Amino acid sequence: MAKDEIRRHHHHHKKGKRKVWKYIIAFLLIFFAVDAVIIFKMYSDAKQAVDTTYKKVKHDSGRDNAKNIKEGKPFSILLLGTDTGEYGRTYRGRSDSIMVAIVNPKTETTTLASIPRDTKVAIPGHGFNNKLNAAYAYDGVSGAMSIIQSYLNVPIDHYIEMNMGGLVQLSSALGKIKVNNDLDFTNLGVHFPKGEITIDKDNILAFTRMRHEDPRGDYGRQKRQREVLAGLVKKITTVNGVMKYQDILSALSSNMKTDITFDQMKTIASKYRQADNVKQLQLQGDSQMIDGVSYEVVPQANLNKVSAQLRAALELKN
């Protein structure tokens, strides 16, 4: 083989490896957006970061999760954004952002369903009047997976948990982003006018955490969080320089946990990379005061509709 051919072959091999890593990290950041792309400098650096995030929890989805991923079948992930890590908090906290993602390579679609944190649910051992995010506070990720699986009638195969404090680290590493703000408000002494605004490490929590002044309540907050996370992902694709990637790796490994192994991520990168068509769902409830506590009470018809859509995305019989 001529020297020029050897160089071309070596260059093609390196490009192929980088492409695989783009999809592996995009999956890690599915809480942000399924089409995110990021390039790591070295294989060993990425593996070390992923291994740091791995944490197995006690949970039974009733399915052979490892086999399903190996065979390229649809699978589900519970995405949890917790309030630990923000404003100096170090305790477990509650799951402020709750989403269920169904990744289906056959339809090339990822279905994302947002679940209100204040949804009224029964939690065994804690009565019938509980907010959904209390499941995490009581029993951690395992408790959240179990309750959400039962409530939605959808098997939860895996989870990804990221504390909201990680947003500050990511913002610090990536720099300023532009997002569209549809509500004029002030929070924590910071004013956010309506229209295109700049978000950085100094105001990111003030923007993403406000809900009391929003007439939509937590639904409005969830929308702002999605806007910011999508903006961060877009910024990631434009960042150059090894130090930036190291900072991103540090933010992820310090603030994220998942029960998806490194080998499973490699399989997902090769078999699920086309599932980048995002379908978004919102489980909608009605605000009600019960015994002096505000809940989101979801009508059975709304719950049945979202459940059916998620089960269909998993290719399960309803």
Tell me, yes or no, if the pTM score tops 0.85: no
- Residue 60 has a pLDDT of 95
Give the CATH number, domain containing residue 29: 3.30.420.590
Q: From CA 88, how far away is CA 157, in angstroms rounded?
A: 31
What's the number of domains the chain is made of? 1
Is the confidence at residue 312, as pLDDT, over 60? yes
Q: What confidence tier does 39 reach under pLDDT thresholds 50, 70, 90?
A: very low
Residues 28, 34, 37, 38: what is their CA dihedral angle, to the nearest 10 degrees?
Answer: -20
Q: Cite the DSSP H helix spans in 272-299.
A: none
Q: What confidence tier does 222 reach under pLDDT thresholds 50, 70, 90?
A: confident
Containing domain of residue 284, as a range?
3-169+210-313
Is the confidence at residue 45, as pLDDT, over 80? no
Lookup: tokens for 183: 């509500």
Is the confidence at residue 33, as pLDDT, over 50? no
Is the confidence at residue 40, as pLDDT, over 60? no
164 in a structural domain: yes
136 in a structural domain: yes
184 in a structural domain: no
Instruction: Quote the Cα angle for 206-174-263, to 5°.
Output: 110
> Are 275 and 105 spatial neighbours (Cβ–Cβ below 8 Å)?
yes
Which residues are registered as beta bridge partners of 80? 98, 161
Q: What confidence tier does 306 reach under pLDDT thresholds 50, 70, 90?
A: very high
29 in a structural domain: yes
Note the pLDDT tens digit of each residue in 237-287: 565 544 566 677 677 677 888 898 888 877 887 788 777 677 778 899 998
186 in a structural domain: no
DSSP assignments along 80-124, one per residue: EEESTTGGG--S---EEEEEEEEEETTTTEEEEEE--TTBEE--T
- Residue 34 has a pLDDT of 36
Question: Where is 314: in which H helix or E strand?
Answer: none
198 in a structural domain: no
Q: From CA 211, how far away is CA 217, in angstroms rounded?
A: 5
- Residue 289 has a pLDDT of 94
Is the confidence at residue 199, as pLDDT, over 50? yes
- Residue 167 has a pLDDT of 77
318 in a structural domain: no
205 in a structural domain: no
Note the pLDDT tens digit of each residue in 50-98: 778 889 999 999 999 999 999 999 999 998 887 654 444 444 455 678 8
